[in-house]
Amino acid sequence: MDLRVRALETVLTAKGYVDPAALDALIDTYQTRIGPRNGARVVARAWVDPTYLDWLRRDASAAIADLGYSGRQGEHMRVVENTPVCHNLVVCTLCSCYPWPVLGLPPTWYKSAPYRSRAVRDPRGVLADFGVTLPEATAIRVWDSTAELRYLVLPQRPAGTEGWPEAALADLVTRDSMIGTGLACAPSTPPRPPTPT
């Protein structure tokens, strides 16, 4: 894959379709400046501010842009809310559509064929692989991202965080909890190490 991408880039550059400096700038932006901390701030704000939560439910694209997160691969956003009776899981069955402005670049497993097919067929099994076991009574809803519409999962606010400041709450929000393959961290447990990218 690496070689094929390099070959493609070389050909496109030679033909003048691609400016390597622009490519580097784009990759650097999404690799080092934009990442899941943006999404975590959206989640934490929704946890503390009912007016903002209501806005997210009605028009996620605008509510997220209001915090300064917009642009490529995040033009049309929908927030899906986890509750005790329904857990949401996001996948792109076709390729790897992912909300870059709030989560950064997708992890490799998100783009893998096994995740893309199994998330639909056996979401509970996928969650188990990520160490997440939900009560049998909790329904799992799977959302298929597309180039037109991307999803951000709003994880449940962990118990025992009443009165916490927004920034401390944001620290409990992991990338995986916003894809649906994880839960927000409990206040007593240190964050799980991130799954490999």
Binding site for Fe ion (CB under 5 A): 92, 94-97
Contact by Cβ (8 Å): 60, 78: yes
Catalytic residue among 61, 70, 86, 96: 96
Separation between Cα atoms, residue 140 and residue 192, nearest integer Å: 22
DSSP 165: -
Helix (H, G, I), strand (E, B) or coil at 12: helix
How many C-beta neighbours within 10 Å does residue 27 have? 11
Separation between Cα atoms, residue 56 and residue 124, nearest integer Å: 27
> Closest approach of Cβ 82 to Fe ion, in Å?
22
Q: Which is nearer to Fe ion, 44 or 92 (CB)?
A: 92
Q: Which is nearer to Fe ion, 61 or 96 (CB)?
A: 96
- Let me know if 92 is a catalytic residue: yes
- Let me know if 97 is a catalytic residue: yes
Catalytic residue among 70, 86, 97, 112: 97
Catalytic residue among 86, 95, 112, 117: 95
> Closest approach of Cβ 80 to Fe ion, in Å?
17
Kindly list the catalytic residues: 92, 95-97
